[in-house]
Amino acid sequence: MTPHATPVGGRLWTPSVQLLSGILGISLIVMLWRFVFGLGATTALNDGYPLGLWIAFDVVTGTALACGGYGVAILVYVLNKGRYHPMVRPALLTSALGYTLAAIGVNLDLGRWYLVWKVPLYFWHWNFNSALLEVALCIMAYMVVLWIELSPAFFEKFQDSPIGSLRRVSRAALPILEKASLWIIALGLLLPTMHQSSLGTLMLLAGARLHPLWNTPILPLLFLISCVSMGYAMVVFESAFSSIAFKRTPEIKMLAGLAGAMVPILYVFAVLRFADLAWRGRLGLLFAGDGRSVLAALEFVLFLAPTVMLATRARRHDLGNLVRAAMVMMFAGALYRFDTYLVAFTPGAHWSYFPSVQEILITLGLVSVELMAYILIVKTFPILAGHPAAAERQAV
Amino acid sequence: MLASFSALDTPGAGAVSRRDFVRLCTMAAAAVGLGPLAAERFLEAAERGLKPSVIWLQFQECTGCTESLLRPTHPGVADLILDLISLDYHETLFAAAGHQAEAARKQAMQAHAGKYVCIVEGAIPTKENGIYCMIGGRTAIDILQDVAGKAGAVIAIGSCASWGGIPSADPNPTGAVGAHEILKGQAVVNIPGCPANPYNLLGTVLQYATYGTLPALDAQGRPKFAYGSTIHEHCPRRAHFDAGRFAEKFGDEGHRLGYCLYKLGCKGPVTHANCSVQHFGEVVDAWPIGIGHPCFGCTEQAVAFRVPLFTTVDIERPTPPDTYPPIHATQGGVSPIATGVAGAIVGALVGGGYVASKKLSAGPADDEVAQKKPEV
Amino acid sequence: MGISRRAALQGMVLGGASVAGAATASAAERPEAPSDAVGLLYDTTLCIGCKTCVVACQDANGLPRDPAGIDAKYDAPVDLSAKTKNVIKLYVEGGKRSFVKVQCMHCVDPACTSACMLGALQKREHGIVSYDPALCVGCRYCEVACPYNVPRFEFAKATPKIVKCELCRTRLAEGREPACSEVCPRKAVIFGKRSDLLKEAKRRLAASPGKYVPKVFGETDGGGTQVLYLSHVPFEKLGFPTLGDESTPSLLRSIQHSVYRGFAAPAALYAVLGMVMLRNRRAGPGGEP
């Protein structure tokens, strides 16, 4: 819809894509190993720690990082800040890919993955008390919504396709999508609100087995707030590196604006978390000196550091600094989720878990395929707006 | 009944008191699981002189099974058995020999056709048509088929007759096999052991003599009352096994204290026999484990003379030990390699990201930077 | 700015109404054990640690032996596992010792059934928490949820299932009792209706007050369980978690229900978002492109 969005073009089989394909190839072999020999042979999961890297990172952190589409949509469509419009499509693409990879990650983690089709279809068996069901259905639905929201980018390209049927479908679809866009976007705002908070509710079922530093009824709220900040951080990160990688002028003004929007969110998170700990008399645990308290304290540091890094206008307009702040923000959110799902879960000191090499390799593979898909799609379809560097200079 | 060897006929020599006789009948009845009334029936049958005819064949054997039968003297099992049956042919115990002995056998076979018991001791060679064991000009195969063919019941005593025993050990140059391999299609009671426990034979013969039936047999034709459990299941040293107390070497502390001999290669866990409850002779602990040597599985074809003496075996049905798990047992683990890999990746991400971002800040104007960077 | 004050107010009223309407409903939902609930009563003062129940459970459920111990020659499960639904553990501290039988507690308001997406784990006949693999996708959320860490997963298999005690429900259907209580030589674990077992447990506590810790574990713990325990040593020493009277699912139900009852709140939010965006579209984009 952005008049300026165009395919980046250029060679597809670049060295970077080759490298990513290599990583993906190794990962596919490990995935096959996982399906043939089972989880016990390829993961370090056990009955004390039934959820591991794939859930904590690929699904929970991955979907939060993929909340760029959500965050930007709030800015553009709810808060009506139209100047961020060019960020919508790339953010949607990152989100669509992120959620799709999270869905693949879930299927890798499910022990009886061959029955996963029953989850959306067997509605008469749905257990509405299960936060996980809500997360699963919501993520499935949101993934579909994201691709639908993104589809105009594909149809715009296909409407000039030499293949007749493709051309006709595209030309017919575009106006329908245009008309329905508002309601689709609204759905794309509702669904993440529901499941990103439910990802927090999920761990509350562990009850007393969730460490008091993370165990709070406002866990859903904290998850929701941090996912918005992570989404924005991802957008900044992705936008900055895209512009460098594809030789386009970095959209410093927009990114600085986004950065400005992130800061209050981070403050809200930190204040809420601190106040919650104080309210429930758990502040002392923060200074207990054990591993968990160190990590919880680190969360605070990482959440607040970007507020300092982005405090002044000058800092917000320094691309490198923006990227560093975005990285810190993503780390903060990721750490918070890892902590909630793995560190805070206390089955007892006699259990231990650390991801196996195969789990790490599969995660790397999923990340690689996401990066590769991003590059290939951005080069082929009109996703990125903005200008190639040589054509126009933008005042920074 | 030519040349039968009956102690009752020669008073004073190994005479058995009625009390001993009754006692042993009760014991034997109990061992076979026939109940107290059976002992009375045994007595009645014996006193009425209804003694089945027995033809005892010996082939590739050491006569150990016959000898083990003769050893006990209080009471003399041999005497009792020989009083319960009419032994019409036994090459070792006969005074007669040669044509006389053969004639006695033929006569008994004719007189009691279809009713006599054929007891086989020793393996039967099959290579080169069985010439490796010939008696009176006939091969063992021939004799066995002839005698067993007209018998009312066939009992193979000892491992050799049950499945080939020592003669069948690798490379089995004579093609030695058990009696049931020659008598395919005919029911054969196997009483393996090297030697077989004479009380097992006693029980079987008693039952046949009194009721005309044979005891319940397992899949290998062995009486379940004797071969239904493994040595391990009824071993007096089992508590030591369960507690993890083992003799590690002959003569060491554990061996002297009578600990479990499993680690010295005891085949008890895979050997079906009743030696652990019914010792040999009438001397307590007169059996291998009782005297401190691991069982070598003499009743089992897959074990005896095949698995080396001091090789340990798997436990078929492991059972809980004498130890207990704690309330919280340590499980799971952390792989140092995975930790290293994860650390490297996180480090690379942080470091690489930082370095890249520095280039973005410190670099020249944006479009120049864009021109210099390689296409991704 | 795009959101008009009116639109915001409308949205808040709608959202608030749905939440308020739902919040009052959660108080009444405190589950009770069904009237025909069956269970077990285990008394540590009677258990001699013979482990017959462990072997009987393996036989009755067709479970393989768990080779472990010295040279792996023993059937020695150290804990519940994919091969073990019932295990005896030993607590020793100073002069005090106690055995404890560990298996599914068959909670009155189970966390595992609340977690299970398609209801593979569910309280079925007699309140027994049973497992239907046809509805299980192997997500292992039940393992996260259970406060006693009971459900175990067949990680070693390519087609894994959740494994846990189901009170021998197939035997119950034939009129027999669970294998463990049937073989116990001292009747340290007995089977019966939960109400009867609770009475018996209280009778024992009243009859020998000094002998036991004065509590029947499972009467109200975590909302109550159908497998009850009497002990002569403190329950935490035996590995039992300290739980209040409220089950974890009941706490969560208030959140889920108040927010999602009838999907009112999500529907309201959707309507609000739609309205806000419509207004923005009509007002035109704020801020320069």
- A395 — pLDDT class (breaks 50, 70, 90): very low
The chain A residue lying nearest B375, using CA atoms, is A245
pLDDT at B8: 40
Which of the residues A53, A238, A319 would you substitute to probe the B interface, choosing the one with the greatest number of B C-beta atoms within 10 Å?
A319
Is the pLDDT at B80 greater than 50? The verdict is yes
- B318 — pLDDT class (breaks 50, 70, 90): confident
Query: C74 contacts in B (CB within 8 Å)?
Result: 242, 315, 318-321
Query: B332 contacts in A (CB within 8 Å)?
Result: 44, 46, 48-49, 351-353
Residues listed for chain B: 376
pLDDT at A298: 95
Q: Do C273 and A127 touch (CB under 8 A)?
A: no
Query: A238 contacts in B (CB within 8 Å)?
Result: none
pLDDT at B207: 83
Neighbours of chain C (3+ CB pairs under 8 A): A, B
Select from C134, C252, C276 the Cβ nearest to the Cβ of A204.
C252
Query: C49 contacts in B (CB within 8 Å)?
Result: 324
The chain B residue lying nearest A357, using CA atoms, is B338
Is the pLDDT at C226 greater than 90? The verdict is yes
The residue-averaged pLDDT of A348-366 equals: 93
The chain A residue lying nearest C247, using CA atoms, is A207
C148 touches chain B (CB under 8 A): no
Query: B329 contacts in A (CB within 8 Å)?
Result: 350
Closest approach of C190 to chain A, Cα-based (Å) = 28
B337 touches chain A (CB under 8 A): yes
Q: For a pLDDT cut of 90, what percent of chain A falls above it?
A: 65
The chain C residue lying nearest B329, using CA atoms, is C78
Among the residue ranges A128-137, B116-125, C188-197, C225-234, the one predicted with the least confidence is A128-137
Query: B262 contacts in C (CB within 8 Å)?
Result: 73
Phi-psi domain of B345 (left: phi exceeds 0; alpha: psi -120 through 50; beta: other): alpha
Give SS3 for A346: coil
Whether the CB-CB separation of A23 and A371 falls below 8 Å is answered with no
- C176 — pLDDT class (breaks 50, 70, 90): very high
The 3-class secondary structure across chain C, one letter per residue, is CCCCHHHHHHHHHHHHHHHHHHHHHHHHCCCCCCCCCEEEEEECCCCCCCCHHHHHHHHHCCCCCCEECHHHCEECCCCCECCECCEEEEEEECCEEEEEEECCCCECCCHHHHHCCCCCEEECHHHCEEECHHHCCCCCHHHHHCCCCCCEECCCCCCCCEECCCCCHHHHHCCCCCHHHHHCCCCCEEEEEHHHHHHHHHHHHHHCCCCCCCCCECCCHHHCECEEEECCCCHHHHCCCCCCCCCHHHHHHHHHHHHHHHHHHHHHHHHHHHHHHHHHHHHCCECCC
Whether the CB-CB separation of A231 and A69 falls below 8 Å is answered with yes
What are the pLDDT digits (tens) for C12-32? 544 444 444 444 444 446 788
Closest approach of C146 to chain B, Cα-based (Å) = 16
Report residue C219 as tokens.
């009467």
What are the pLDDT digits (tens) for B236-290? 999 999 888 999 999 999 999 999 999 999 999 999 999 998 888 777 888 999 9
Q: Which residues pair with B134 in a beta bridge?
A: B139
B355 touches chain A (CB under 8 A): no
- The β-bridge relationship of strands A351-353 and C87-93 is unpaired
Report residue B275 as tokens.
């030696």
Which of the residues B337, B366, B369 would you substitute to probe the A interface, choosing the one with the greatest number of A C-beta atoms within 10 Å?
B366
What are the pLDDT digits (tens) for A86-118? 889 999 999 999 999 999 999 999 999 999 999
B325 touches chain A (CB under 8 A): no
Select from C74, C91, C99 the Cβ nearest to the Cβ of B320.
C74
The chain C residue lying nearest A254, using CA atoms, is C289
Is the pLDDT at B1 greater than 70? The verdict is no
A49 vs B333: CA distance, rounded Å: 11
The chain A residue lying nearest C139, using CA atoms, is A110
What are the pLDDT digits (tens) for A300-332? 999 999 999 999 888 888 888 999 999 999 999
Closest approach of C288 to chain A, Cα-based (Å) = 6
Q: Do B320 and C87 touch (CB under 8 A)?
A: no
- B5 — pLDDT class (breaks 50, 70, 90): very low
Is the pLDDT at B361 greater than 80? The verdict is no
Residues listed for chain C: 289
Mean predicted lDDT score pLDDT of chain B = 84
Closest approach of A124 to chain C, Cα-based (Å) = 9
Q: What letters, b where the CB count within 10 A reaches 16 and e where it falls short, cover A216-241? A: bebbbbbbbbbbbbbbbbbbbbbbbb
Which of the residues B327, B328, B330, B331 would you substitute to probe the C interface, choosing the one with the greatest number of C C-beta atoms within 10 Å?
B327
Query: C81 contacts in A (CB within 8 Å)?
Result: 47
Dihedrals phi, psi of A381, to nearest 5 degrees:
-120, 160
- A260 — pLDDT class (breaks 50, 70, 90): confident
Select from B262, B325, B331 the Cβ nearest to the Cβ of C87.
B325
pLDDT at B59: 96
Among the residue ranges A79-88, B48-57, B99-108, the one predicted with the least confidence is B48-57
Closest approach of B319 to chain C, Cα-based (Å) = 5
Closest approach of C203 to chain A, Cα-based (Å) = 31
What are the pLDDT digits (tens) for A119-176? 999 999 999 889 899 999 999 999 999 999 999 999 998 888 888 888 998 999 899 9
What are the pLDDT digits (tens) for A174-215? 999 988 888 899 999 999 998 998 899 899 999 999 999 999
CB contact set of B350 (below 8 Å; sequence gap of 6+): A327, A331
- B28 — pLDDT class (breaks 50, 70, 90): low
Query: A320 contacts in B (CB within 8 Å)?
Result: 357-363
The chain B residue lying nearest A252, using CA atoms, is B366
Is the pLDDT at C108 greater than 80? The verdict is yes
Q: For a pLDDT cut of 70, what percent of chain B falls above it?
A: 82
The chain A residue lying nearest B369, using CA atoms, is A244
Measure CA C22 to chain center: 26
DSSP state of B217: B
pLDDT at B15: 54
